[in-house]
Chains A and B, each alone.
Chain A
Amino acid sequence: MEVSGFVTGAATREAFGRALRELGSEDPDLVVVDADLGNSTRTELFARAFPERSFNVGIAESNLVGVAGGLAACGKKPWIASFAVFLTANAYDQLRMSIALPHLNVKCVGTHGGITPGEDGPSQMGVEDIALATALAGFHVFVPADAVQTRAVVRAAARIDGPVYIRCGRPSAPLVYPLGCDFRPGKAIRLRQGTDITLATNGVMLALALKAAWMLEEEGVSARVLDLASVKPVDEDALESAARETGALVVAEEHLSHGGLGSIVAQVLARRCPVPVGFVNLGDTYARSGKPAELLEAYGLTAEDIAARAREVLRRK
């Protein structure tokens, strides 16, 4: 997917597959379990390199998660992947019982997050995965924006001895971090300084938020941009500073309106520093089939939408 002003890089799912293959050569305990989507989730890169440590349990997400729990209980380091919606919504109780409750070291990757799966339509779109994943006690939840950050996120996740959910996207992603990314769990990345308002976001929306900041700049509005790739734990200090120093926020996400990044940020700000906040998200509806860029426009998830929301919030300051 192209965003003007950015070089288009690989899809985050592709970067995930490459990073996983790289990790596989470093750690012999790393195993991958798939539910027959390896060519889409890109775990097939690992499977080709390490067939003896790769298992395909068929189209069976519940079993996928349970098998990973058993492997982790024995000290293996399983990574599982499916489409975000199938992994979280189809196998939720298994994530809860077989991984979260015993706090097992399983890495869960949902690809095809958000509405940018596009033409395949709403059945394939993970638009509630962040709400579901963050509700799992003890889980870390990360949403990388581009191929470079995805590699950093995958490597950081591998160092965590506990459950992690990572959302990746289907289409090629604009490169926000062409020069590298220092991703740390629990730390926001301030991509742009600003004093009037803060645009807090992650994933595909990050490039669009930067574009929105450039638009606002032309109007004399100085917008800070925070990358919240670490959704859980979220960087509460960075959010409090943003609220104190800029006095208003917009949270943009490729997700339904309830339970995602917007809810998390609102909770932190309510506790630490209440300021006017606006939200850019899918709302309370499912998207339709269409090209990714068309859908972002149709459902109000463009740079223009972020800038418009920022203007509205600024009036409430």
Chain B
Amino acid sequence: MELEKLQDKARLLRRHIIEMTSAAGSGHPSSSLSAVEVVVGLYFGGIIRHDPHRPWWPDRDRFILSKGHAAPVLYAALAEAGYFPASELETLRRNGSPLEGHPRMREVPGVEASTGSLGQGLSIGVGHALAARLDGRGYHVYVMIGDGENDEGQVWEAALSAAKYHLANLTCIVDHNGYQQTGPVAEVMPLAPLAEKWRAFGWQAREIDGHALSQVLDALRAARDAHGQPMVILARTVKGKGVSFVEADYAYHGKALTPEEAERALEELGWR
């Protein structure tokens, strides 16, 4: 898909994110908005080999959203990719809907892991990557974690084990939007220098502008073709990207926009 069309797709995912969380009256739109370009690159930029009609095809590439609170961006991408009708997105968080507040494995086609308790997705990804090796399958495993999620010790346990087993078929993407629940990452729990930390744990590391689709695609291709050691992509992003008043205030973490705010947001995104 051409860059321009990918940008259109990103704009469409942002619309879905805002509409579904506002309809639900809760959720984490800002944490979803920061991850849009990476998710668009994965699903629509020719990175992930997958088949929406065979969601559990054994040779599919895997995408594990470890920062499960960004479920809306995953659901939006899966709907646009053809896993289920986009009309289902409005059932987000409703009783009886498979689109729960955080992703639940096997409930939704294309959801690879139950996440929402931060820190666990990379370990699950290590399991998938080891299984690929055991079964002689060529699939690649992509795991997205939040930057605050790096506070979790399990992330580093998983990082050590991926390096030990030379899991070049595993990629970790850090949605480095700079904020966690109660404030800036740099204040809550300083992570810098983050790339150096990952390198010290035996990973290849690459830092990119996580909203520049050409950089996103280049990095994902490099990670997919990595040899020897797994690669982490530190995607510098903006929490709430695309909606000025959400970008400006991290207090929007974990809050849906009111109907009036959603209208303003959709206007800024060019949907009104």
A binding-site residues for B, Cβ under 8 Å: 31, 52-53, 55, 57-58, 60, 62-63, 65-76, 78, 93-94, 96-98, 101-102
Interchain CB contact under 8 A, B127 and A69: yes
Contact with A along B49-69 (1 / 0, CB 8 A): 000000000100000000000
A62 to B122, CA, bound (A): 11
* A60/B161 contact (C-beta < 8 A), A70-B125, A75-B58, A98-B123 known: yes
B142–chain A nearest beta-carbon distance, Å: 13
Interchain CB contact under 8 A, A70 and B124: yes
* A66/B116 contact (C-beta < 8 A), A58-B160, A60-B160, A94-B154 known: no
A173 to B146, CA, bound (A): 48
B110–chain A nearest beta-carbon distance, Å: 13
Interchain CB contact under 8 A, A70 and B161: no
Interchain CB contact under 8 A, B127 and A57: no
Interchain CB contact under 8 A, A63 and B158: yes
Interchain CB contact under 8 A, A67 and B114: no
* A70/B119 contact (C-beta < 8 A), A63-B154, A63-B157 known: no
Kindly list the 3 A-B residue pairs having the minimum CB-CB distance in the complex, ordered from nearest: A70-B127, A66-B123, A74-B131
Which residues of A are found within 8 Å of B125, using beta-carbon distances? 70
Interchain CB contact under 8 A, B126 and A70: yes
Which residues of A are found within 8 Å of B153, using beta-carbon distances? 62
Can you list 5 A-B pairs with a CB-CB distance of less than 8 A? A58-B164, A63-B160, A66-B154, A70-B128, A74-B127
Interchain CB contact under 8 A, A102 and B154: no
Interchain CB contact under 8 A, B114 and A98: yes
A94 to B116, CA, bound (A): 11
CB-contact partner of A74 in B104, B115, B132, under 8 A: B132
CB-contact partner of A69 in B106, B124, B129, under 8 A: B124
Chain B minimum-CB-distance residue to A93: B117
* A73/B120 contact (C-beta < 8 A), A55-B165, A60-B157 known: no
Interchain CB contact under 8 A, A62 and B165: no
Interchain CB contact under 8 A, A66 and B132: no
Which residues of A are found within 8 Å of B123, using beta-carbon distances? 62-63, 65-67, 69-70, 94, 98
Check B112 for interface membership: any CB of A closer than 8 A. yes
A29 to B134, CA, bound (A): 9
B155–chain A nearest beta-carbon distance, Å: 9
Q: By CB atoms of chain B within 10 A, which of A55, A66, A75, A101 has the most? A: A66
A314 to B117, CA, bound (A): 48
Extra inter-chain contacts (8) besides given A94-B123, A98-B120, CB under 8 Å: A31-B134, A55-B130, A63-B123, A66-B120, A66-B123, A70-B131, A98-B113, A102-B104
Interchain CB contact under 8 A, B128 and A73: yes
Which residues of A are found within 8 Å of B161, using beta-carbon distances? 55, 57-58, 60, 63, 67
Check B260 for interface membership: any CB of A closer than 8 A. no
B151–chain A nearest beta-carbon distance, Å: 14
B143–chain A nearest beta-carbon distance, Å: 10
Which residues of A are found within 8 Å of B135, using beta-carbon distances? 74-76
Which residues of B are found within 8 Å of A96, using beta-carbon distances? 117
Which residues of B are found within 8 Å of A69, using beta-carbon distances? 113, 120, 123-124, 127
Q: By CB atoms of chain A within 10 A, which of B116, B122, B124, B164 has the most? A: B124
Check B222 for interface membership: any CB of A closer than 8 A. no
Which residues of A are found within 8 Å of B119, using beta-carbon distances? 62
Interchain CB contact under 8 A, A53 and B134: yes
A58 to B154, CA, bound (A): 12
Interchain CB contact under 8 A, B154 and A71: no
CB-contact partner of B128 in A58, A63, A74, under 8 A: A74
A68 to B129, CA, bound (A): 11
Interchain CB contact under 8 A, B127 and A68: yes
A257 to B119, CA, bound (A): 32
Which residues of B are found within 8 Å of A67, using beta-carbon distances? 123-124, 126-127, 130, 158, 161
A12 to B63, CA, bound (A): 40
Check B105 for interface membership: any CB of A closer than 8 A. yes
B44–chain A nearest beta-carbon distance, Å: 24
A93 to B120, CA, bound (A): 9
B128–chain A nearest beta-carbon distance, Å: 5
Interchain CB contact under 8 A, A101 and B127: no
Interchain CB contact under 8 A, A97 and B130: no
Chain A minimum-CB-distance residue to B121: A66
